Amino acid sequence: MNQKNRQMENQNHYYIIWAIRLLLIISILANIVFITLHLLSDDLVTKKEIIEELSQRIELLFWSVVTLTLTFLPDYIEYKNIHLPHILEIIIVIFIFAGIFLSVRFELYYNVFWWDDVLHTLSGVIIGFLGFIIIYKINSKYSMDISPLLVAVFAFTFAMTMGVIWEIFEFAMDVFFGTTMQSWDLPHDTTLIGRAFQGSGLRDTMSDLIVNSLGALLTSVICYFLYKREKKKALALMHEIFPDA
């Protein structure tokens, strides 16, 4: 890639990520203004209506701040001299934006039955590639003369492990804080795998793990053939990501 094309790619990457951040900043400011005006308003509304409206706005404000903070994760990684490919950075930021802010703002987990499955599938794909990057970091100072099958298995198991840890986190949040992260309060007619007597919480958790495993499997297959057939290109890319390795 010539210098001009590289500069254009850097600019496009910069614009996309900052466009998302700008939307989040606008949301944060708009909710702060709304909350302030609502508290100062003299409209004759019940206390219950005020509490419900403010709680929704405060929740959205909170998740907007969390999402905005997490969009700087790739910058922090770059600061640590780890140069993720621009396309992977954009995918991670869009995934964070969609998985947190858009999901809360439009209640997509409840209004779009396939939304949760898509996010968990993509998480399996993304984390699988991160596993591929990690195995290079672990072995680069010793030897990368390792089996492509081992690379694929590590990418798969790493993604699956992260998926299981996330489900444990959701379970703990529901138990200790009374949240509904495992969707145990979904309507009985919600489209889920399994049988109704198994409960929506179990069915939601198992569907998350299943689609996560499919995403991880897809990534592991790609990593296998990439490392087996294009090992030099793969290692050159890894060296760009970890220039000090």
Give 109-132 pLDDT, tens digit per residue: 888 888 999 999 999 999 999 999
Report d(CA 142, CA 46) in Å as an integer: 68
Q: In the prediction, which pLDDT does 64 show?
A: 95
Confidence of residue 11 (pLDDT cuts 50, 70, 90): confident
Q: In the prediction, which pLDDT does 47 show?
A: 65
Report d(CA 155, CA 132) in Å as an integer: 5
Lowest mean pLDDT among 23-27, 78-82, 173-177, 179-183: 179-183
Cα–Cα distances (Å) from 140 to 144, 150, 189, 235, in that order, read: 6, 15, 51, 9
Q: In the prediction, which pLDDT does 62 show?
A: 94
Cα–Cα distances (Å) from 239 to 60, 129, 148, 225, 236, in that order, read: 40, 15, 18, 19, 5
pLDDT > 70 fraction of the chain, expressed in percent and rounded = 91
pLDDT at 52 over 70: yes
**For the residues 69-80, what does the mean pLDDT come to?**
92
Report d(CA 61, CA 64) in Å as an integer: 5
Q: In the prediction, which pLDDT does 208 show?
A: 94
Angle between helices 115-139 and 148-177 (to 10 degrees): 130
Q: Are the C-beta atoms of 75 and 20 separated by less than 8 Å?
A: no
Q: In the prediction, which pLDDT does 70 show?
A: 96
pLDDT at 3 over 70: no
Dmax over Cα atoms in the chain, in whole Å?
Answer: 73
Lowest mean pLDDT among 53-62, 84-93, 224-233: 53-62
Q: In the prediction, which pLDDT does 149 show?
A: 95
Give 118: exposed, middle or buried? Use CB within 10 Å, 0-12, 13-18, 19+: middle
Confidence of residue 243 (pLDDT cuts 50, 70, 90): confident
pLDDT at 171 over 90: yes
Q: In the prediction, which pLDDT does 14 show?
A: 87
Q: In the prediction, which pLDDT does 139 show?
A: 86
Confidence of residue 192 (pLDDT cuts 50, 70, 90): confident
Non-local CB neighbours of 22 within 8 Å, separated by 6+ positions: none
